[in-house]
Structure 1
Amino acid sequence: MQKTAMTSAVQREVLHPIYIELLLHLAQNKGVKPHKLVSPKLADSLKFRHKPATFFHLVERFMELCPDKYLPVNFGRQSDLAAAGTIGSAVMSAPTVRDAFEIICRFYPLTGMSYDINYKRTASETIVQMDMSDPEVPSSARNFLLESLVHSWAGCYKILRGEEIRIKSISFDFQPTTPSDYYREHFGAEVFVSTGRNIVVFDNYLFEQANLTRNSSVHSRFVARCEAALQRYRGGVTCSQIVRRYLKSENNLTSAILASIASSMNISSRTLNRRLQAENYKFSQLLQEERLSRACELLKTSAMTTAEIAEQLGYSDASNFRRAFKKWVGFSPSEFREKSPELLNGI
């Protein structure tokens, strides 16, 4: 029964498209023609979320075409947090390295990659244990991806801190392709193989460093979006609820925001509209609801003019806002402001 559940996870279209993009980019750099890995027809379907099994097959194929012992290094080092969507933005805006790493651990399921990442903190060290839980992952692809994960973390750290990371030790339950000398030279790490565990050990001081890319004004917003996406991924939140949460987090409400929401969910705008329709909603309806709610709040609690409110809500001019508001509420914005608190609270 357990194996059936795991197998279905591998076959579901849950893998983030960035992994295929990174693999194809590396293949091109190594002189491997993209069509050797994936047909043009299949490439189009991989622009959105797809089956992990497809990616694992491509990894094995790439390793056959390019037997380079530094492939895990090159694949992991391609990490570009700016291209990693909402998760990348949450990581980059985090206050410290530890905060960033905790975000990575918590929201890795959103990538669709079946990593198991856990860590514990001692008096002087942070010990990270990693593995891939899915038995359907081919062993060669698993080993490649676990090794590349270490180099991915190193690439993330360099973005966050502007310097190379130092690692105390690394243990693999397999024989890595990257020579041990590379780990010693670049990370100062001793490498132990065939230990039965995959563990990376860091000094605690590395995790307490402030990130150069931290941004407190947007960090909580990106984390909230990740939380909403994670709940939906686990089946706890509907598509319309995610859209509502996203709209509430935006400063400027425009119809163009549809593309941004779809991008944060790693789907196309057309797919987002289709999923909303399945829940008997339209994006324009949800946008209108949020505009109404925010307009009422601003009219009650702020001294902003009608024109200023219209601009913040994404209207091209104040007259359009006034017409829309009166249609929603039955009063003009100025009349709404003049009404009694009892009436306002009832709308």
Structure 2
Amino acid sequence: MGIVKALEMDGLDCRMLFKQLGLDYDALEDPDARFPQDSMTRLWQRAVELSGNPAIALNMGKVVRPASFHVVGYALMSSRTLVEGFQRLVRYQRIIAESADLSFRQMEGGYGLVLTVHGDHLPPTRQSAEASLACALAMCNWLTGRTLHPMKVLFQGAEPVDLAPYQQAFPAPLVFGAPYDALIFERSDMEAPLPTANEAMAQLHDRFAGEYLARFSESRVTHQTRQVLCRLLPRGEPKRDVVAQTLHLSQRTLQRRLQEEGTSFQSLLDDTRRELAEQYLAQPALTLLEIAYLLGFADPSNFFRAFRRWFDTTPGEYRARSNGQAGQ
């Protein structure tokens, strides 16, 4: 996966990094695997801490290829123009990432590719958006066989101290503190014929991508279940029948769909509680008792037992150790 190559360019050990964050490194080999946006947020945050490079996400533009996006990349490659390619990208982007919205439209005398990244509980880092913009521009360069110069590039993030990596990645006027993240392109660049265009292949890839998206959209119950669990946990331990009802599924169907995606209701509940426990412990204002109830434990001793099973330590020791590391 591109993100591994991007992080390794700054000397990071990705296998170790994934292990520290509780992420499945081997899932990178599975084109159907997805990481929640909060996991990606924690990954980027840790990568910036370890590398000391806030612009590390821009490395993504140096490693991306159409194959990085599987069938979507090939659909782009066979498009007649970048306009057609980006229209396909918007149509199929959920195959690449569920936590981002893309729109492509005419604007300001050209065309704009506008990106919105959604966090689950944590606000997404600027690195997620910057990686996506760098990938999109690199794809344009790869598909056209030349270096495109956008009319401008918009970033929601504040202007960084070191502009050089941004100027290198985006040969265009840069606007920081913008209302959204976007690449604004010249009309002529977007409407020029692509050397890789192939109408017959485009139709074939459209069919593959459409079938994949339909299967993917139907099956991603894990993500929806996790969101419902997060919403219900502060009211007590969520029951499977209540979650199934919220998702308009029968209990049997919910369990079967989760099983098809390699998990179960109980595993998902346990994983969600573990992830939330880490986030809550990082907030000093929350007491351990409050955290136990926020995680849906009626009896705090059950929270302490579960926490020791997850992290082989107590919540208090974990918090003290985390605070000590943060202060170094």
TM-score (norm 1): 0.56
- Give the number of the structure whose alpha-carbon radius of gyration is greater: 1
Show the counterpart of 1:300.
none
Q: Secondary structure at the match of 1:234?
A: helix
CA distance in structure 2 between the partners assigned to 1:203 and 1:111 by the alignment: 26
Are 1:50 and 2:30 counterparts? no
Indicate the residue corresponding to 1:71 in structure 2.
56
Please, which runs of 5 or more residues in structure 2 have no aligned partner?
220-255, 261-328
Q: 1:228 to 1:144 in 2, by over 3 A?
A: same
Distance 1:160 1:41 in 2: 32
Shift of 1:217: 2.5
Aligned pair count reads: 219
Task: Provide the C-alpha distance between the structure 2 equivalents of 1:185 and 1:31, rounded to a whole number of angstroms.
Answer: 20
In the other structure, the counterpart of 1:88 is 73
Deviates further, 172-181 or 49-58: 172-181
Query: Does residue 217 of the first structure (1) align with residue 209 of the second (2)?
Result: no
- Match for residue 31 of structure 1? 11
The CA distance in 2 between the partners of 1:223 and 1:26, in whole Å, is 29
- Within the alignment, does 1:228 sit opposite 2:206 as a pair? no
1:125 corresponds to which of 103, 107, 110 = 110
Residues 286-308 of structure 1: per-residue CA shift (max 9 Å, x gap): xxxxxxxxxxxxxxxxxxxxxxx
The question of whether the paired residues in 2 share the 8 Å contact of 1:107 and 1:230 is answered with yes
1:84, CA displacement in angstroms? 2.3
- Aligned match of 1:174 in 132, 157, 174? 157
Identity of aligned residues (%): 17
Contact 2:144 2:194 in 1 (8 A): yes
**What is the CA-CA distance between 1:160 and the residue it aligns to?**
0.7
Q: Deviations over 1:67-86 (max 9, x none)?
A: 22431221233211124221
Q: Counterpart in 2 of 1:61?
A: 46
- For 2:187, the aligned partner's letter is N
Secondary structure (helix, strand or coil) at the match of 2:89 reads helix
Aligned-residue Cα RMSD (Å) equals 3.0
Match of 2:175 among 166, 169, 192: 192
Q: 2: CA distance between counterparts of 1:46 and 1:54?
A: 13
1:122, distance to aligned residue in structure 2 (A): 4.4
Task: For 1:178 and 1:51, locate their aligned partners in 2 and report how far apart those are by CA, in whole Å.
Answer: 30
Pairing of 1:274-285 with structure 2 (within 5 A) = none
Find the aligned partners of 1:183 and 1:190 in 2 and give their Cα distance.
10
> C-alpha separation between the residues in 2 aligned to 1:163 and 1:178?
29
User: Which amino acid is 1:67 matched to?
Assistant: G
CA distance change for structure 1 residues 24 and 177 in 2, over 3 Å: closer, same or farther?
A: farther
Q: Could you list the runs of 5+ residues in structure 1 that have no partner in the other structure?
A: 1-20, 237-274, 280-347
Aligned residue number for residue 284 of structure 1 = none
Instruction: Pick the aligned partner of 1:114 from 99, 102, 126.
Output: 99
Q: Which amino acid aligns with 2:57?
A: P
The TM-score, its normalising length taken from structure 2, stands at 0.59
CA distance in 2, matches of 1:146, 1:123: 21
Deviations along 1:193-225, one digit per CA (max 9) or x if unpaired, are: 223322322111111111111122211000111
Measure, in 1, the Cα distance between the counterparts of 2:208 and 2:94.
14
C-alpha deviations, 1:287-335, integer Å up to 9, x for none?
Answer: xxxxxxxxxxxxxxxxxxxxxxxxxxxxxxxxxxxxxxxxxxxxxxxxx
Distance 1:123 1:192 in 2: 14
**C-alpha contact 2:48 2:54 (8 A) present in aligned 1:** no
Closer, same or farther in 2 for the Cα pair 1:183/1:35, shift >3 Å? closer
Question: Any conservation in 1 of the 2:8–2:14 contact (CA below 8 Å)?
Answer: yes
Contact 1:180–1:190 (Cα < 8 Å) also in 2: no
Instruction: State the partner residue of 1:319.
Output: none
